[in-house]
Amino acid sequence: MFFPKEVEIIEVGPRDGLQNESMFVATEKKKELVKFLSKTGVRRIETASFVHPKAVPQMADAVEMAAFSNELGIEYIALTPNMKALGRAIECKVPQIAVFVGATETFNQKNIRASIEESLAECNLVFKKAKACNLKIRAYVSMGFSCPYEGNVSYEQVKRVVEHFEKNGADEISVGDTNGQANPRIVYERFSRLKDDFPNIEFVAHFHDTNHFAYANVVAALQAGISKFDSSIAGLGGCPFSPGATGNVSTEGLVKLFDDMKIETGIHQDALHEASQFAKSLFM
């Protein structure tokens, strides 16, 4: 088995996590959470989303969150899935943007009322402008293994989206087990093929712990040569009022796993524990 010397954990709790919690979290609390996280040693944090506030009220404070992130001097990521969002992010001097496209037509239609083709076309515009502004580009493939509407997702479905992302200049691509139904075998096989087919792309594995297979999937992804992992403090992004239940794999768990395996993350357990306690307190 392959155990790399180090990995990167990307903290997505303040955006991807909170966005999927139904309870509203006040901006001041979000800032506190980001501040706690900034002290853990984690290199990148997803802190804001510039999607329209009507679509995601939880993320209506993108401008303030970006300003605070700039103030803190951290490397942060903001979601900008369309040109309007990107325009606002550029005004806010965001250093790194993220877009997402689902690998299945049904999910894409239900999630953002657009076809995969339409989403990709919009992404191309976003990428072009982001590149012109020297922004780093992260791209998510949602439903990268299976889909609540279409069941198993084929390699070809994922490849189609990845190909577009690569051609248009994504710096890294995060492939998500968005509905938490992946298993170590498909994780290993899918990432191995992706790395073979796209040797120049940095892939990130994004797991949900719905079936409690997330850590097993992480180990499988390591074997396929993946060394970047998204995770969410306290597992934010699962069930409302029940952080960690079935949502994103938790940063605490992932850091413990890597620490135990003597794989360096650069994250300090004590500071992480404080951030975790604070994140949990938001839902108590």
Which residues of this chain interact with its own copies, rule CB under 8 A?
1, 3, 181, 183-186, 188, 209, 211-213, 215-216, 218-220, 223, 253, 256-257, 260-262
φ, ψ for residue 141, nearest 5 deg: -100, 110
Nearer to its own copies, 148 or 184 (CB): 184
Least Å from the CB of residue 15 to its own copies:
24
Identity of the residue, 122 or 209, whose beta carbon is nearer to its own copies in the bound complex: 209
- Is 92 tagged catalytic? no
Residues 19, 2: Cα–Cα separation, whole Å? 34
**Smaller CB distance to its own copies: residue 27 or 192?**
192
| C-beta of 5 vs 113, nearer to its own copies | 5
Shortest approach of its own copies to residue 273 CB, angstroms?
Answer: 15
Residue with smaller CB distance to its own copies, 162 or 186: 186
Task: Quote the least distance from Cβ 254 to its own copies, whole Å.
Answer: 11
Q: Report, in Å, the least distance between residue 220 CB and its own copies.
A: 6
Which residues are designated catalytic?
239
